[in-house]
Amino acid sequence: MTQISQQNMQRALTALHISPSEFNDIRTAPFHEAKKLLQELKSKAHQNYKQLAFELHPDRTQGNEEKTELFKLLGQVLGEINKMTISPAPPARIQFVYNPFGVRPFSWSNTSTPGFSQVQVIYVVKMKPK
């Protein structure tokens, strides 16, 4: 299978009546809602593909090259859409930073070491749950 160019992808998505905002909605939604939106997008793409495939099939278009090419492209794009999955974000890692020198990280200037004008020291302490 060949790589689908951006121009061809846009052409196919337009034919399938899928807008970039639908992908953005999936990307920015919470996990459970995004999962539902992705299923709806796949369903919409499949329904629109079935209609277009009926109209663009080479047997119905008497071998029209342009329509046959669009028919093949839509099949590729639908395959890519069906491969899409969504997974939950990894759990957040909480890291406590302990600085014995005050609110700001302790820093000092060291002009004698070439390439290092300022060095910051931060102590990281992992806390165990009680």
- On whether both 53 and 107 belong to a single domain, the answer is no
The CA distance from 81 to 26, in Å, is 13
* Whether the predicted model's global pTM rises above the 0.85 cut: no
- On whether both 79 and 21 belong to a single domain, the answer is yes
- On whether both 35 and 73 belong to a single domain, the answer is yes
pLDDT tens readout for residues 70-100:
999 999 999 999 999 888 877 766 655 555 5
Which own/partner pairs from 29-36 qualify as long-range (CB within 8 Å, at least 24 positions apart)? Answer: 31/86, 31/88, 31/89, 34/86, 35/86
- Total domains, the chain: 2
**How many alpha carbons fall within 13 Å on the CB side of residue 1?**
10
The CA distance from 49 to 55, in Å, is 10
Three-state secondary structure call for residue 61? coil
User: Under 8 Å CB-to-CB from 22, ≥6 apart: which residues?
Assistant: 37, 41
Q: What is the pLDDT at residue 89?
A: 73
Q: Is residue 35 part of a domain?
A: yes
Provide the residue range defining the domain that includes 54.
Answer: 6-83
User: Under 8 Å CB-to-CB from 23, ≥6 apart: which residues?
Assistant: 41
pLDDT tens readout for residues 9-67:
999 999 999 999 999 999 888 888 999 999 999 999 999 999 999 988 888 888 788 98
- On whether both 26 and 77 belong to a single domain, the answer is yes
Q: Is residue 30 part of a domain?
A: yes
- On whether both 30 and 59 belong to a single domain, the answer is yes
